[in-house]
Amino acid sequence: MPASPIRKLVPYAEAAKQKGIKVYHLNIGQPDIETPPQILDAVRHADIKVLEYSHSAGNESYRRKLVQYYKRVGIDVSYDQILITTGGSEAILFGFFSCLNPGDEVIIPEPFYANYNGFACAAGVNVVPITSYIDNGFALPPIKDFEKKITSKTKAILVCSPNNPTGYLYSREEMEALRDICLKYNLYLFSDEAYREFCYDGEYVSAMHLKGMEENTVLMDTISKRYSACGARLGALVTKNKQVYDAALKFAQARLSPPGLAQIMGEAAVELPDHYFDAPKAEYLARRNLLVSRLNKMPGVVCPVPGGAFYAIAKLPIDDCDKFCQWLLEDFSYNNQTVMLAPATGFYGTAGLGKNEVRLAYVLNLESINAAMDCLERALEEYTASQPVTFSESEGTAQ
Q: What tens digit of pLDDT does each residue of 281-320 get?
A: 999 999 999 999 999 999 999 999 999 999 999 999 999 9
| pLDDT of amino acid 391 | 46
- Domain 10-34+277-386 classified CATH 1.10.760.10? no
| pLDDT of amino acid 387 | 74
This prediction's pTM = 0.94
The domain made up of 37-271 has a fold known as Aspartate Aminotransferase; domain 2 (3.40.640)
- Residues 386-397: what's their mean pLDDT? 51
Give me the DSSP letters along 19-62: TT-EEEE-SS----SPPPHHHHHHHHT---SS-PPPPTT--HHH
338 pLDDT higher than 50: yes
Q: What pLDDT band is residue 397 in, cutting at 50, 70 and 90?
A: very low
Give me the residue spans of the domains in the chain.
Answer: 10-34+277-386, 37-271
Closest CA to 107 of 158, 167, 69, 160: 158
